[in-house]
Structures are given as C-alpha cells and as structure tokens.
Amino acid sequence: MRKLSENPELEGEYKAWSGSRNSFNRGLNDPNSDAVREKWQKSYFRGVCPAGRNGPEDHRSRLKLKPFG
C-alpha cells in the first residue's frame, strides 16, 4: 500500500472525482437539478475518467460470461 500523495496525477483524479461526486449528491436534493434529471453518474460506466478523457481501451461495462458447468 502507498499513500495517494505519492502519485500526484492519481491523487488529482481522485480529488476531481470526489468533488464531482459530492456536487452530484448535493444536487439530488434539488428537484430541478441536472443531477435529478440524470439520476446517476455514468462516467465510470462509459469508461470516462474524472478529468473527461477516455479511460483504458479495454474498459468493459458488460461481460458475457460462459455458464457454469
């Protein structure tokens, strides 16, 4: 384990995500807000980093798994 501060780029992304998440959650208290209209943040699902750039090319939001057995 390492301190997040040892990786300034990752720490910045975390702070951006955390700020965005906190703002979104505050917005859920206002029935006229974008947050209420959006219902949930989809950036992770879409594979977008907090800074708005695309995440890893191999990001998957759905997996097609073989049945057990």
pLDDT in tens, the chain (69 residues): 999 999 999 899 899 889 988 998 999 999 999 888 888 787 777 888 777 788 888 888 888 899 987
Q: Retrieve residue 31's tokens.
A: 């029935």
Q: How many CB atoms lie within 10 A of CB 36?
A: 12
The gap from C-alpha 29 to its chain's centroid, in whole angstroms, comes to 20
pTM (predicted TM-score)? 0.66
Distances (CA, A) of 36 to 12, 19, 52: 26, 17, 21
The domain ranges of the chain are 4-46
